[in-house]
Amino acid sequence: MKPRFKRRNGKNGDAARHQLQDGQPPLARRPQRESLPLKIDVTDGGIAFEVHVVPRSARSHVAGTHGDKLHVKVNAPPVEGAANNVVCATVARALGVPQRQVSIVRGVASRMKRIHVEGMSEIEARKALAADPT
């Protein structure tokens, strides 16, 4: 079986291949793209934001942002609303509010959901999500 890639040696072995023209070594990794900030809409009586849900994860937690949406992983399967209940509980735990204040406004049968949190301001939500260790 032939190897897929051939190893090329430069003038001074492998060291010459890993140098740029100006003598500086290349970056080890490409800089990662910064994610967009979470878009939070202020409504009368609370806040609303978009959530991207990944069901059947190893554990339920807020995994950062997915574009301008909150990325939430839940360990429940998307059957008979089980994942929706866990999404509300996970978001409530991350924000530090009771679960009864969190509700799904749109996207009950979709991975993209719109969540409404009663009695919370945008500043409080950003502070709670920034301090969330999970």
- Is the CB of residue 73 less than 8 Å from the CB of residue 59? yes
Measured in whole angstroms, the distance separating CA 69 from the mean position of its chain's CA atoms is 8
Structure tokens at 125: 């939500």
pLDDT computed for residue 85 by the predictor: 96
CA–CA dist 86, 94 (Å, integer): 12
Q: Which carries the bigger pLDDT value, residue 58 or residue 133?
A: 58
Q: How far apart are the first and last CA of the chain?
A: 46
Lowest mean pLDDT among 14-18, 35-39, 84-88, 102-106: 14-18
- Is the CB of residue 98 less than 8 Å from the CB of residue 92? yes
Structure tokens at 56: 């059947």
**Structural domains of the chain, with CATH:** 40-131 (3.30.1200.10)
Whether the pTM exceeds 0.75: the reply is no
Instruction: Tell me whether strands 46-54 and 102-106 are parallel, antiparallel or unpaired.
Output: unpaired
Closest CA to 93 of 52, 45, 55, 61: 61
CA–CA dist 134, 27 (Å, integer): 30
Residue positions counted in the chain? 134
pLDDT in tens, 12-57: 555 555 555 555 555 555 444 444 589 999 999 999 999 999 999 9
